[in-house]
Amino acid sequence: MSENCNQNCNSCSEDCAERKEQKTDFSEKLHEMSSIKKVIGVVSGKGGVGKSLVTSMLAVTMNRMGYHTAILDADITGPSIPKAFGIRGKATGSEFGLFPVKTKTGIDIMSVNLLLENDTDPVVWRGPIIAGTVKQFWTDVIWSDVDFMFIDMPPGTGDVPLTVFQSIAVDGIIVVTSPQELVSMIVSKAVKMAEMMNIPIIGLVENMSYFKCPDNDKDYQIFGESHIEEIAEKHNLKVLAKLPIDPKISAACDKGMIELFDGNWLDSTSKLLEERLEEN
Ligand SMILES: Nc1ncnc2c1ncn2[C@@H]1O[C@H](COP(=O)(O)OP(=O)(O)OP(=O)(O)O)[C@@H](O)[C@H]1O
Ligand SMILES: [Mg+2]
Q: What are the C-alpha distances in Å from 179 to residues 108, 188, 228, 280?
A: 31, 15, 8, 35
- The atom of ligand 1 lying closest to the CA of 254 is 31
User: Are the CB atoms for 100 and 69 separated by under 8 Å?
Assistant: no
Helix and strand numbers, DSSP H then E, in the chain: 8, 12
pLDDT-based confidence at residue 21 (cuts at 50, 70, 90): low
Question: Mean per-residue pLDDT for 38-49?
Answer: 89
Which residue type sits at 210? Y
Q: Is residue 146 pLDDT above 60, yes or no? A: yes
pLDDT recorded at residue 51: 94
Q: Percent of the chain at pLDDT above 90? A: 61
**3-state class (DSSP) for residue 106:** coil
pLDDT recorded at residue 9: 67
Q: Whose alpha carbon is nearest atom 10 of ligand 1? A: 250
Question: Mean per-residue pLDDT for 145-151?
Answer: 97
Report how far ligand 1's centroid is from the alpha carbon of 261 (Å).
Answer: 14
Report how far ligand 2's centroid is from the alpha carbon of 37 (Å).
Answer: 24
- The atom of ligand 1 lying closest to the CA of 243 is 1
Give me the chain's average pLDDT, please: 89
Adjacent-strand bridge partners of 38: 148
Report how far ligand 2's centroid is from the alpha carbon of 50 (Å).
Answer: 7
Of 9-18, 21-30, 203-212, least confident by mean pLDDT is 9-18
Answer positive or negative: Cα dihedral of 168, 169, 175, 181. Answer: positive
- DSSP symbols for 113-154: GGTSSSTTS-----HHHHHHHHHHHHHTB---SEEEEEEEPP
Question: Mean per-residue pLDDT for 138-157?
Answer: 93
pLDDT recorded at residue 48: 85
- The atom of ligand 1 lying closest to the CA of 56 is 18
pLDDT-based confidence at residue 81 (cuts at 50, 70, 90): very high
Report how far ligand 2's centroid is from the alpha carbon of 180 (Å).
Answer: 18
Q: Is residue 97 pLDDT above 90, yes or no? A: yes
Could you give the CA distance from residue 206 to residue 232 in angstroms, rounded to a whole number? Answer: 11
pLDDT recorded at residue 161: 87
Report how far ligand 2's centroid is from the alpha carbon of 154 (Å).
Answer: 6
pLDDT recorded at residue 80: 93
Report how far ligand 1's centroid is from the alpha carbon of 5 (Å).
Answer: 56
Q: Is 73 exposed, middle or buried (0-12, 13-18, 19+ CB in 10 A)?
A: buried
Q: Which residues surround ligand 2, an ion (CB under 5 A)?
A: 51-52, 80
pLDDT recorded at residue 109: 98
Ligand 1 binding pocket (C-beta < 6 A) is: 44, 47-53, 75, 78, 80, 155, 207-208, 243, 245-246, 249-250, 253
pLDDT recorded at residue 261: 94
Best mutation site among 42, 43, 52, 208 for ligand 1 pocket (most ligand atoms within 8 Å of CB): 52
pLDDT recorded at residue 197: 86
Query: Smallest Cα–Cα separation from 268: which of 207, 203, 209?
Result: 203
pTM: 0.90
Q: Is residue 280 pLDDT above 70, yes or no? A: no
Best mutation site among 151, 253, 266 for ligand 1 pocket (most ligand atoms within 8 Å of CB): 253
Higher pLDDT, 221 or 25: 221
pLDDT recorded at residue 225: 85
